[in-house]
Amino acid sequence: MPQNFWKNKNVFITGINGFIGGNLSKKLIENEANVFGLIRDGNRSTFIFHEKLEHKITFIDGNITDKDLIARIIGEYNIDAVFHFAAQVEVGVGLTNPFLTYETNIRGTYSLLEGIRQSGISVDSIVIASSDKAYGSYPSKMMPYSEDYPLIPVYPYDVSKASADMIAQSYSREPFSLPIVVTRFCNIYGPGQLNFSAIVPDAIRSALRYSTFIPRGDGKQIRDFIYVKDVVELYLSISSKLFSNPKKIRGEIFNAGTNKGVSVKDLLKKIFDTCQNMKDFEKVVKLMKNKKTVGEIAVQIMDFKKVNKFVGWKPKYSFEKGLNETVEWFREYLDSK
C-alpha cells in the first residue's frame, strides 16, 4: 500500500462505534483519511470515545436497514470506500432473538448494498465482514476452513452471516458488478473489545478481579484468535487492492486467521496466567467440568494462504504479544472506570 494512500479519501464505516470499526477508524485517522460513520445510538462507552476520536469523525445517526439514508450518505459525502461491520454479533443473542439477528445482519447488508447501488456514486471499494461462523460445522480433520467449502450453517447467527455473505457475493457479479470483497475472519481480540460477552475481554476483566468469570461450556471448543491490529492492516490492504486492481479481486472471499487453534480452556489459562491470577483460573476449571455447551461449533480454524497470495498479508503478532498489549489496555481502561 503506497504511503499516503488514504490521505483525503472519504471512508464510510458501518458499525463504527464497535470494536473493529473503532480500531479501523483510529488507523484511518492516523493516515489522514476523512472518516464517516453510521451510528444508531449515542453510546459513549466505546473505544472511539475512550480514545477521544469522536471529534475527528463525521457521525450520521441512523439505522443500517435504512436504504435511502445509505444512498444519501454515499452521494452527499462522495464516498470512496466502504467497510461494513454493523451487525448483531453475539451467538447467544441469535438463539434468543433470531428476528433481531436476521433483521440486522441480513436486511442490513442488502439495504447497504442497494443504497450504494442506487446512489449513483462510483464507490471504489466495498469490504463486507462475514465470519468463520458462516461455514457451519465441519469435522476437525477438514480444518482449517477453505474458501471453497460450501456454507452449511445451522444456528441463527451463523445462518445470518452466511446469508449476508451470499447477498454480498451476488452484488459483486453482473449486472451490478460492485467492487466487493467478502472477509471471513476468525475470532478477533484486542484493545477496545468492550462487548464483554466475548470470551477474551470477559476473561481479562475477571482475571484482573473486576468480575467473576462464568464459563458457557466445558472449554473443549477449539478456536483461532487473531489480533485486531493485524486485522486492521489486512482490511486496509484488501481495500487498497480493490482501488488498484478491482477486476482481479472483485467478488473474492478471503479467510484470515493464524492457522493455529487453541482450546477455550487453554486460552483462559493463558489469560489468567498473563494477569498473574492462576488461583481464580482453578475456580474456572472446576466450573467448566461437565458443563454442556449449546449452540457452538466444536472446531474452527482459519488460515491465510489465499489472502497472502492476493495481497501479501500475514499476521505479525503472536498471541502472546497481542494478549500482553490487550491486557495492558484493559488495565488502564478498567482502572479509569
pLDDT digits (tens, 9 = 90+) for 255-267: 999 999 999 999 9
Q: Could you tell me the strand order of the sheet in which 81-84 lies?
A: 57-61, 34-39, 10-14, 81-84, 125-129, 180-185, 253-256
What pLDDT, on a 0 to 100 scale, did the predictor assign at position 252? Answer: 97
d(CA 56, CA 52): 9
Percent of the chain scoring above 90 in pLDDT: 86
3-state SS, residue 198: coil
pLDDT band at 3 (very low <50, low <70, confident <90, very high): confident
CB 64 within 8 A of CB 108: yes
C-alpha torsion sign, points 54, 60, 66, 70: negative
d(CA 155, CA 293): 13
pLDDT digits (tens, 9 = 90+) for 191-215: 999 999 899 999 999 999 999 999 9
Flag whether pLDDT at 18 surpasses 90.
yes
What pLDDT, on a 0 to 100 scale, did the predictor assign at position 97? Answer: 92
Return the beta strands (E) in 9-146 as ranges.
10-14, 34-39, 57-61, 81-84, 125-129
Flag whether pLDDT at 119 surpasses 90.
yes
Place of cell 488498484: 244
Superfamily of domain 10-187+226-258+302-316 in the CATH hierarchy: NAD(P)-binding Rossmann-like Domain (3.40.50.720)
pLDDT band at 90 (very low <50, low <70, confident <90, very high): confident
CB 134 within 8 A of CB 165: yes
What pLDDT, on a 0 to 100 scale, did the predictor assign at position 93? Answer: 84
pLDDT (average), residues 82-108: 92
Amino acid identity at 188? I
> What number of other Cβ atoms are within 10 A of residue 164's Cβ?
28
What pLDDT, on a 0 to 100 scale, did the predictor assign at position 99? Answer: 95
CA angle 84, 87, 88 (to 5 degrees): 170
Mean residue pLDDT of the chain comes to: 94
Give per-residue burial for 218-242: e unless 16+ CB within 10 Å, then b.
bbebbbbbbbbbbbbbbbbebbbbb
pLDDT digits (tens, 9 = 90+) for 164-174: 999 999 999 99
Among 18-22, 56-60, 61-65, 86-90, which stretch is predicted with the lowest mean pLDDT? Answer: 86-90
What pLDDT, on a 0 to 100 scale, did the predictor assign at position 75? Answer: 97
What pLDDT, on a 0 to 100 scale, did the predictor assign at position 198? Answer: 92
| Grid cell in block for residue 49 | 470515545
What pLDDT, on a 0 to 100 scale, did the predictor assign at position 45? Answer: 86
Domain range summary for the chain, segments of one domain joined by +: 10-187+226-258+302-316
Residues serving a catalytic function are 157
